[in-house]
Every structure is written in C-alpha cells, then in structure tokens.
Structure 1
Amino acid sequence: MPWKDYITDVIGLSVSAGLSYTLYTFVRAGKEVADHLKITPEVTIDTDLISLVSENGGSMLACVQGMVQATDGSIKSLARPEVTGVLWRHTIREHLVAQVMGIWMNDKRTIDSTLNTVPFMLMQNGIGVQIADPGKLDGVDLSVVSDKFDAASNSLTDHLWGWMKGVRITGTQQTEEMLVEGTRMLGIGKLVLRSKSIYLEYTKNIPYIMTTRDKKTVIEDIEAPIPFLRFFSLLAAVGAAVCTYRIAKRWYKKWRKDIKRRAEERVLEEARARREAQNNDLPESLMCVICCDLRDVLLMPCKHVCVCSDCALKLSPRVCPVCRTEIETIQPVFYS
C-alpha cells in the first residue's frame, strides 16, 4: 500500500495529538496555578509582616492588600491633571469599517500604545510593601481616566477611495488609563525581605498581578476556562485515537494480504513444478487462455480453471479472464 494512502490519517493524527497535548498543557498549567493560589495565604500589612517573612526564610508567596501610593513622584493625567497615579497607559486606536466578503464590518486597530510607570507601594497601617519592577506585572486593573473619540471628517473623495480599497476610516479614539493613587488593590506575588523592607516580586508559581478583585474571584477567573480546555483536549485525543485506529486497520489488512499472497505464491510454485513435469503435448481444453501452458490453478470464488500459475500471479487487474470476477484466492488443481 503506497504511503500516499496514509497521508491524510497521518496528518490528522499529528494535528489531533499536537492539539490535545497543547490543550492538556494549558489545563495542567492553569490547574497548578489555581492550586498554588488557593494555598497562598492572605497576609496583613502591619508591624508583624517583617517577622512573618523572616520566619519563612526571607521570602514567601502571599496576597497583600493596601492603598496604592507612589514612592517618589506620581504621574499626572494629561486630560485630568488633578488625577495622579503610578501606572499610566495611553492608547490611540483607529476605528474603521472594512469590507469582508462583500459585507461592511466595524473594526479597529491600535496605532500607538504608551506605558509609563513609577515606583510605588501598597500602604496599610502606615507600613508599605514595595512593588518590585511594575513593568513585569502579568495583569493590572486600570481605571479609565479619559476616553475621547474624534470622528473623521472624510471628503467625498475619501469616501470613494475608501470604497474602492474596501476600508474607510471613521475616527480616532484616545484612551487614557491609570492605576490611580489611593485605590485599594490586592497584590499577588512573592514577598521578599531586603534590608528591613518588604518587596512584592514576580514568581512563576502564581500570577504577579495587581487587582481590585478579591482572591476568590481571581481563582474563579483562572479556573473558568479549564473545563472547556479539558473537553476540547479530550475531543482532540479522540480524533487522534480514530486516526490511529484507521492507520492500524490499514496496516493489518496489508499484513493479512501479504500473508495470503505469500501462501498463494507457494501454491503457484508447487503448481509450476508439477506443470514442468507434465507432457508438453496438451489438449486445448487444458491450455491456459493466456499463454497456452497447463491450466493448473482454480480461481475463487468463480471456480474457473482457465489460466496457469504464472499468468494467475501476473493478472492485473486481479480478475478472472473469463467472467471478470474479482479473485479472492487461488487454489492448485491436481490432474490424475
């Protein structure tokens, strides 16, 4: 059986197995993060925090809650200077309508996104926990300080040109987001003691985030996609199993066919040896319809005795020369 007969199933097996493994990896990673986060303690920022971290070897996974406060200077909002924060993001998006398969659909694309941070801490009871390297935070809940949309003033030429290109600009949106000072946040990460100061740092075991949500909600958000990922992982695994079964089934059929073929070849060799021992002066009724040699094999299931063993082996397609029935087996014929 040529390799091309297996190519579809091999591709299906590769894709299904790869997809199943990838989804399973996501499930396992999400479950591990959620499990680590469940056992991560929520500690209070107070005078006993340094002693607690010190007792745990100078570092520990923890969730801490406090008010956001800049360590040095804070960042002022461009649109509202009275609002100050410690993390600032300014995003410019272009809104447009694009033609997709003859249908005009709304879309938008980011033109520019600027992020700026300053050192800050979480304050509680007059004590602060320094946020180490804010740029490495996996997620931060930011407040929208300003959101301005400027409609495009397109001329008739712009509209015609946009219609020809399939893309028309409708306007520009400028969004300003900030982590505002005084916001009560939950910080998740690794508490590290350095020179009698506590830092919240990145760790690979739990997410490094600043959020206005509580710990329970964060865990629920992490666990929410796991059942769906597990279902699709199992679905892909079933696909891989089906492709494996199809490949094994074809290989088995080929193996059985090869065994049957070798058995027929042995039968034909025996028939050929007997034919060579026979007298060459044969009546026409015993002559092979192809080469006029001795008819020494029986074709099944049609039961015609019409060819010699050599010609039976060479028949292509593998059908009876008399009735055109597909040949399943070949049996020797013995003359007394």
Structure 2
Amino acid sequence: MDFLPEIIGETVILGLDTLILGFCMRQLSKCKHILNGLQTAPVLDIDSTLNKEINKYPNNVIPYVVIRGLVKPLGTPITSNYNHSVTGVVQRLTIKEHVIARTSAGFWSDQTRTIHEVCNCTPFVLNSGKYSIEVVDALAAELLDMDVISDKFEPMSPGVIDHVWGFFSGVRQRGLQTMEEMLRDGSYITAIGELSKSNSGALKIQPPKDGLPLYLTTATKSTLLKRLTSSRDFLRILVVVFGVVAAAASCRIAYKYLKRRKRRVLEECMRKQLAVGRRERRAIARDHNLTDLQLCVVCTENPKEVILLPCGHVCLCEDCSDNIADTCPICRERIESRAPAFIT
C-alpha cells in the first residue's frame, strides 16, 4: 500500500484511459459488425422477383437486405400540426430549452436541453407500383431521416429580477425552440433491415435479430458504407491513441515498481552488511572468559546482552535476539519490548 501514493497519477490516467479505450473498442466492434452486414446485404427491388428471392433463404427470412421504395400509409396519415397540407407516417415533436449557463471556469456558454419529445407513428409500407412491403417498428430505427416541417424559436424577455437571479444562479433563459419533423407521405427512402414473409404471403421489413440496426434513410447503400467506413477509421485512430496512452501509463507504473524494488533490494543488502559488521564488532569486543550463567541460553557462546520485557529475563545475546521475536525462551511469555542489559 505504501507504493500506491507514488503511482496515484499514473493509476488514475490508466483507469480513465482503460474505460475510454474499452468504449472505443466496443464501438469499433459494433461498427465493423454493421459494416460487414451492410456490405453483404443484397439490394432488392420491390417487384415480382422479390418473392422468388426470399424463397431462397431459410424460413423465408433474409437477415439483412436493402430495399428502396415510396412511403405510403396504411390508413389515415398523420397531419402536421403547423402545416395542414403536409401529411406523413412518422412525426416527432420536440421542445428544447435554450439557456446561457456559467461553467465551472466562470465563462458563460450556450446550452440546449430537451424538455419534451413526442413521437407518433402510423402503419405504412414501402410501395413500388402494385407491390409493397410493410415497415414494422419504424421508431426503433437507429437512423430515421425526417424532414423539418417547422422550427420556431420563441425568445424570452427577462426583466431586471430575472437578470439578477440568473447572475446568482448561473443560468439565464434565452427561449424555447419548438420543432416538428415528419417522414412524409410519398418520400422515397432506403429501408435496411430484416425481410420476412408471413404465412399469408405478406412481406415485412423489421429490426434484425442479430444486433444489426434498422435504417430508414434517404441515403443510398454506398453513402452509408462511406459513413461507416469513415467512422471505423476514426475509431481505429482513437483505439491506437488510447492504447498508446495505456501502454505508456503501464510502462511508467512498471518502471516505478522496478525502480522501487531495486532500491529496496539495495537497502536490504546494505542493512545486512551493516548487521554483519555490527556482529563482527560485537564479537571482537566481547569477553570470552565467561561462566555458563553469563552465556546466552540459545547459542551458549556469546554473553547475555538483552533483557526481555515484561518478563525481565536476561537470557539472550544480541545476535539471537534478532532471530527470536515472539516469546521468551525461558518462560514463554510474549515479548513486547527489549532493552540492552549490562552484566558485570
């Protein structure tokens, strides 16, 4: 534990770096998985050949497929709240609060916080002529491209009291932003997901079951592949950078540990050398014409030089005292302390 204060900085850096590195590696693995799935996903048209293609796969399920078509609602579409001439199948209403907040450094910065969000969805299909595919659970799509129908910002007019309160609280209100987004009826989009055929022959595209995402986007397959490739390359750079930092921190900790270990080995060697020197000097200075009562009860060669406390027995030489740390060899009482004794 006495080594921890020496490496506290490196330990904190290594811990944070390991967390970030783990997150980056997880995202990189996910990105590679999606990229591999998208590269092998077939691009199919919504026509008469679609049933033949799906029959080639087990259980009439294509794990990952790319299909483009026109959005068409099944039933009554959703009407825009701000433009009644616009209809769609997916609607997102968002209210955001814009504030100017004081940071811990004392500066003021613009910040945005979502205070309310509502999503509405109606069943719809991707249509091409007389053929169609139903889209299941569109709100679960990882990428859902929608058009902005309305984006209004209502600024606030704070008074003197609001300015004073904002100065002390560190938050000043700027206003509210209300946004409406919709996946319009008639939009031409790309759906990427799992394609299956029910017992009745109806075709459905839905979120895949193997961890791949559902995409409902206006982008093409090649555009998505470029985005994912760019993300993969960026994550690789992050993994390399944080991996180098982790390796450097680990090497620094290992260097300090080895340096400390080497220092302790040298100190131990010096201590042993000093102990040997003291024993040699004691041996030279000792009187060798002693009676049996004056000899150490352990080695019976050196004179009694140490008193054991609390029992008070003088029975050991200094050399033997270094090797006996628990109990007195005479009475077996626990040794709490010891002191030099002089016998004349």
**TM superposition score normalised by structure 1:** 0.76
Residue 204 (structure 2) aligns with: 199
Residue 130 (structure 2) aligns with: 126
Q: Is the 8 A contact 1:36 1:205 kept in 2?
A: no
Alignment match of 1:229 (pick from 226, 235, 240): 235
Q: What is the CA–CA distance in structure 2 between the aligned matches of 1:265 and 1:96, rounded to whole Å?
A: 67
Residue 250 (structure 1) aligns with: 256
Q: What is the CA–CA distance in structure 2 between the aligned matches of 1:108 and 1:243, rounded to whole Å?
A: 37
Distance 1:248 1:106, change over 3 A: closer
Residue 276 (structure 1) aligns with: 282
Q: What is the CA–CA distance in structure 2 between the aligned matches of 1:168 and 1:266, rounded to whole Å?
A: 70
2:98 aligned with 1:92: no
Residue 116 (structure 1) shift? 0.2
Residue 15 (structure 1) shift? 2.2
Distance 1:167 1:84, change over 3 A: same
Residue 263 (structure 1) shift? 3.4
Residue 65 (structure 1) shift? 0.4
**Alpha-carbon RMSD:** 2.6
Distance 1:105 1:268, change over 3 A: closer
Residue 162 (structure 1) shift? 4.1
Q: What is the CA–CA distance in structure 2 between the aligned matches of 1:278 and 1:154, rounded to whole Å?
A: 94
Residue 69 (structure 2) aligns with: 66
Q: What is the CA–CA distance in structure 2 between the aligned matches of 1:212 and 1:259, rounded to whole Å?
A: 69
Residue 301 (structure 1) aligns with: none
2:116 counterpart letter in structure 1:
D
Residue 31 (structure 2) aligns with: 30
1:132 counterpart letter in structure 2:
V
2:69 counterpart letter in structure 1:
G
1:86 counterpart letter in structure 2:
V
Give the alignment of 1:1-336 within 5 angstroms. Answer: 2-57=3-58, 58-60=60-62, 61-100=64-103, 103-195=107-199, 196-203=201-208, 204-279=210-285
Q: What is the CA–CA distance in structure 2 between the aligned matches of 1:160 and 1:272, rounded to whole Å?
A: 77
2:35 counterpart letter in structure 1:
A
Residue 43 (structure 1) shift? 0.4
Residue 279 (structure 1) shift? 4.0
Q: What is the CA–CA distance in structure 1 between the aligned matches of 2:232 and 2:142, rounded to whole Å?
A: 19
Q: Is the 8 A contact 1:45 1:124 kept in 2?
A: yes
**Equivalent residue of 2:41, what SS?**
coil
Distance 1:99 1:266, change over 3 A: closer
Q: What is the CA–CA distance in structure 1 between the aligned matches of 2:106 and 2:257, rounded to whole Å?
A: 48
Q: What is the CA–CA distance in structure 1 between the aligned matches of 2:136 and 2:261, rounded to whole Å?
A: 65
Residue 48 (structure 1) shift? 1.7
1:276 counterpart letter in structure 2:
R
Q: Is the 8 A contact 1:6 1:247 kept in 2?
A: yes
List runs of 5+ in structure 1 lacking aligned partners: 282-309, 311-336
Distance 1:254 1:156, change over 3 A: closer
**Equivalent residue of 2:219, what SS?**
coil
Q: What is the CA–CA distance in structure 1 between the aligned matches of 2:251 and 2:242, rounded to whole Å?
A: 14
Q: What is the CA–CA distance in structure 2 between the aligned matches of 1:268 and 1:23, rounded to whole Å?
A: 54
Residue 253 (structure 1) shift? 2.4
Q: What is the CA–CA distance in structure 1 between the aligned matches of 2:157 and 2:42, rounded to whole Å?
A: 55
Q: Is the 8 A contact 1:188 1:206 kept in 2?
A: no
Residues 283-305 of structure 1 deviation map (CA, whole Å, 9 limit, x = unaligned): xxxxxxxxxxxxxxxxxxxxxxx
Q: What is the CA–CA distance in structure 2 between the aligned matches of 1:271 and 1:152, rounded to whole Å?
A: 86
Q: What is the CA–CA distance in structure 1 between the aligned matches of 2:108 and 2:256, rounded to whole Å?
A: 49
Q: What is the CA–CA distance in structure 2 between the aligned matches of 1:23 and 1:182, rounded to whole Å?
A: 39
Q: Is the 8 A contact 1:189 1:200 kept in 2?
A: yes
**TM superposition score normalised by structure 2:** 0.74
**Equivalent residue of 2:31, what SS?**
helix
Q: What is the CA–CA distance in structure 1 between the aligned matches of 2:158 and 2:20, rounded to whole Å?
A: 46
Residue 153 (structure 1) shift? 4.4
Count of aligned pairs between the two proteins: 284
Residues 126-163 of structure 1 deviation map (CA, whole Å, 9 limit, x = unaligned): 11111011221112111111223333344455455445
Distance 1:191 1:247, change over 3 A: same
